[in-house]
Structure 1
């Protein structure tokens, strides 16, 4: 994996946690919200492995709920550990952003 894709993976993980912390969402919604914020190259297929990993880390929980327009959807919720991870992500992001801003 290249350095760029590793960096993007970490940023994407943090951004997904931020979305889930704001409201319960399902996978496709996450994909659409990321696109609205400018992550146009992120496919749904790359989001689900991240969601699975975050569930294993206990940063989020998933719960199936009925949908009015089709099969059940798995909605994701933030946990206390996920909120801590967000704080860590924000700190790391600010550190990286400040360093890059200085260089620019």
Structure 2
């Protein structure tokens, strides 16, 4: 993709993926790659920061004989994701208006 993602957008995307259900890092990275060329290694500092800010929690679960770290969203994380969603919807509307030649100042 041509457009880069900044830190708040990456937080929003990661929280949105986890809000759909507990998941692990590699699965999150594969979903995020649909919108960005970010490397897998970029994801783990984001997950760590979200965890340190009590927006996600992590737990280990056995998968094919190995431990896999899963992430779940907290209530604070869900509230933050919803706030970011509202901001995204407003921003997307403005961008769509500009791209479509609009000059409205609403």
Shorter-chain TM-score bucket reads 0.7 to 0.9
Indicate whether 1:30 and 2:28 are aligned. yes
Give 5+ residue unaligned stretches, structure 2. 100-106
- Higher Cα radius of gyration: 2
Secondary structure of 1:39's partner?
coil
Runs of 5+ unmatched residues, structure 1: none
Post-superposition offset of 1:8: 2.4
Deviation of 1:86 after TM superposition, in Å, equals 1.0
Shift of 1:24: 0.9
Residue 50 of structure 1 and its aligned partner are, at CA, apart by 0.4
Show CA shifts across 1:35-61 (max 9, x none).
Answer: 3xx224021110000000000110100
CA-to-aligned-CA distance 1:46-98 (integer Å, 9 cap, x gap): 00000000001101000011121x53111000110011011111111012111
- The correspondence of residues 1-104 of structure 1 with structure 2, limited to 5 A, is 8-35=6-33, 38-68=34-64, 70-104=65-99
Which 4+ runs in 1 deviate beyond 4 A?
none
Count the aligned residue pairs: 97
Give me the CA root mean square deviation: 1.6
TM, length-normalised to structure 2: 0.83
